[in-house]
Amino acid sequence: MNKSHVIFSILITSILISVPFMQAYSQSPSLKINEVEFNPPGKISGNQWIEIYNPSNFLLDISNFLIKSVELGRSIQVSSGFVVEPNGYVVIPFQTRALDEKRDSIVLLTPDSVEIDKTPFLSDEVDDDKTWQRFPNAIDNDNITDWHFRDNTFRITNGFTFAKKFFLSDPIFIDRQGNNAEVFIKGQTVGVKSEIVNNTEEMRSFVYIIQVKNEAGIPLFIGWIEDIKISPNITIKPITFFPAESKGEYTIDVFIWRSITLPDPLTSSKQGLIRVAG
């Protein structure tokens, strides 16, 4: 399915069919311009888009909102029927060249021209799939450092902020029999186990990663378990093994990321130390 078809399906699913009246303007200041495609592969006209994110717990109607290009000095009106679900995304495609890829700032305005959000001046002169994104997702310090130029994350999160109710323990070291240990013998297999707790209300999918570094801080081993799923209010204890091939002290770093290809952390990393005897 090509991108134009994907955009069309998103538009169709975003149309308001039957929802109760919502507090559209009272909550709209929370809306964020979350991602901008200035210069897509191929022709620019008809393929530029922006993504709007709703970090609130309210369903927000953005019908007739205005998207203004500061550099080009013109505004485009959002079609009637667009809503953004709580913690959801809507992609607004442009039928013409609406943004100046060489240098532009985009402003989101209510129908009566009240400014809701604004990007800094950004530039994208390479026609590829990279986009300007707030990173982590929806961050807003009113600073250019909020924005990163990365592979597009079309209608998904640009990167998690740490989940306050998501817990990762310090690493626990075990042998093949499951016994806890901090000292191992050269040639022995070391298991790295962590307790992960999901106290959020959402199913989470992530990758569990361990990195082993020697006394000089040089990484010697990286291992991971992909596509782990954890339901709300559940605790799991994944284990990854690595061979202790030489004696010495080793630092073990543990990470939980969204995926190997999208290294967005769910929590801060944890660290432990083991000793390998000769």
Per-residue pLDDT reduced to its tens digit, 120-140:
999 999 989 899 999 878 888
**Share of residues in the chain with pLDDT > 90 (%):** 61
51, two tokens: 């993504």
| pLDDT tens figures, 41-64 | 999 999 999 999 988 878 899 999
Supply the pTM of this predicted model.
0.54
Which comes out higher in pLDDT, residue 252 or 87? 252
Q: Are residues 180 and 230 in the same domain?
A: yes
Which comes out higher in pLDDT, residue 10 or 30? 30
Can you give the residue range of the structural domain that contains 258?
166-277
**Average pLDDT of every residue of the chain:** 85
Domain membership of residue 161 (yes or no) is: no
Peptide bond connecting 120 to the previous residue in cis, omega within 30 degrees of 0: no
Q: Are residues 105 and 173 in the same domain?
A: no
Mean pLDDT (whole number) for 85-109:
93
Q: For the chain, what is the domain count? A: 2
Domain membership of residue 158 (yes or no) is: no
Domain membership of residue 159 (yes or no) is: no
**Helix and strand element counts for the chain (H, E):** 2, 22
Q: Are 40 and 80 in contact (CB under 8 A)?
A: no
pLDDT band at 141 (very low <50, low <70, confident <90, very high): confident
Q: Are residues 136 and 227 in the same domain?
A: no
Q: How far apart are CA 54 and CA 272, in angstroms?
A: 38
Closest CA to 161 of 181, 182, 136: 136
Which comes out higher in pLDDT, residue 31 or 30? 31
212 beta partners: 221, 252
249, two tokens: 């002290």
Q: Domain of 235: which CATH number?
A: 2.70.50.60
pLDDT band at 154 (very low <50, low <70, confident <90, very high): confident
Dihedral sign from CA coordinates of 102, 107, 113, 114:
negative
Please report the pLDDT score of residue 226 as a whole number. Answer: 92
Query: Any idea what the Cα angle at residue 269 is, between residues 265 and 275, rounded to 5°?
Result: 150
